[in-house]
Amino acid sequence: MDLIKLLFLQLTLVIVLLGSLMNSVEKYLPTYVRKIFRYGKHSYQSENSYDKIVDKIEVPKSWFKHFYIFAVIWSWMGLILAISVYFQNYQPPLLFYKYLDFSCGSNREIEITRLETLTALSLITVQCTRRFIETNFLQIFSKKSKINLTHYFCGFLHYYGIVILIIAKSDGFNTENNQQAHIIDGVKDVFLAFLTTVVFLYLNYKQFETNMIFINLRKLKSGKIMTEHHALPKGGLFKYVSSPHMFTEVGMYVIMYVLLYKNSTYTYCLFWVISNQTCNAILTHKWYVETFKDYPKDRKSIIPFLL
């Protein structure tokens, strides 16, 4: 049984079910459901929003930085391991292979090449490193903003799963079939790796640009924090969508599919990212429209000109 595939499938089903309910019949849902699903700027607020159980499992939104600390360490470990196996002939202990079998099934097969593996792990590591720097050194979190522990742990599960699913289906990490001895397996692989890298890094930069717009809304040019309240963002991709950071997140995982389309487990991770980001973007867009009377009417929620 592929436990990582099952993990992303369950996350997707939950987010699609709850997201659909939140965007259609939210007012009929119990308070605890609304409080668990919503967080950040669109967190559930009302006179009767207190829930004794749910409130006890809420943590500061600034704890987002914790799973990026984990993500940057975990992704670098995965990348260094792959480099060691491919370039230094390092052989992981048998226990590690058994762990991969436990995580992604004992019948797992090689589905991606060494070049695809190195490229994917490098890009994920770049993303995790950038987000680690942003959340721990640049981002300004509101002291009043909370997230539910379910959101908190989902962050750990996501980054844990993405690294494992890449390595488990890669050449060099299967004791029964490690026949490929070269990194590059043809011109097509090089072209797809180059295309994926260029588009991924561009989207990564645009996400950084978006997050800096958010950060600059809360501080003066001198760097002094001016406010912790949410303001109307402008510039960059905000011209087209309310949540450019979510649009670029989806875009990065979509372009990674060009590289990892043969990895069956990655498809489930992609579904999870698309559904999670889309549901949150729709709620965020509604919040903007309800909060700012002069909110641009031509902005979409997450996909320019469409959604």
For residue range 266-276, list pLDDT tens digits in order.
Answer: 999 999 999 99
Residue 298 · residue 242 · CB < 8 Å: no
pLDDT score recorded for residue 46: 54
Mark the ranges of the chain whose per-residue pLDDT is less than 70: 40-53, 176-184, 220-223, 228
Per domain, the residue ranges of the chain are 3-291
pLDDT score recorded for residue 168: 96
Q: For residues 152 and 280, give the distance between their C-alpha atoms in angstroms, rounded to a whole number.
A: 15
Q: In this structure, what are the phi and psi dihedrals at residue 294, rounded to the nearest 5 degrees?
A: -95, 25
pLDDT score recorded for residue 195: 97
Residue 113 · residue 171 · CB < 8 Å: yes
Among positive and negative, which fits the CA dihedral 283, 288, 290, 296? negative
pLDDT score recorded for residue 132: 97
Q: With CA atoms as reference, report the closest residue to 167 among 4, 48, 15, 1.
A: 4
Q: For the chain, where are the alpha helices, taking DSSP H only?
A: 3-22, 31-37, 52-56, 64-87, 94-104, 114-133, 149-168, 187-216, 244-260, 264-291
| Dihedral (Cα; 262, 265, 271, 274), 10-degree rounding | -80
The per-residue pLDDT for range 23-62, each reduced to its tens digit, is 788 888 887 777 777 776 666 565 555 556 677 778 888 8
Enter the tokens of residue 146: 């909370």
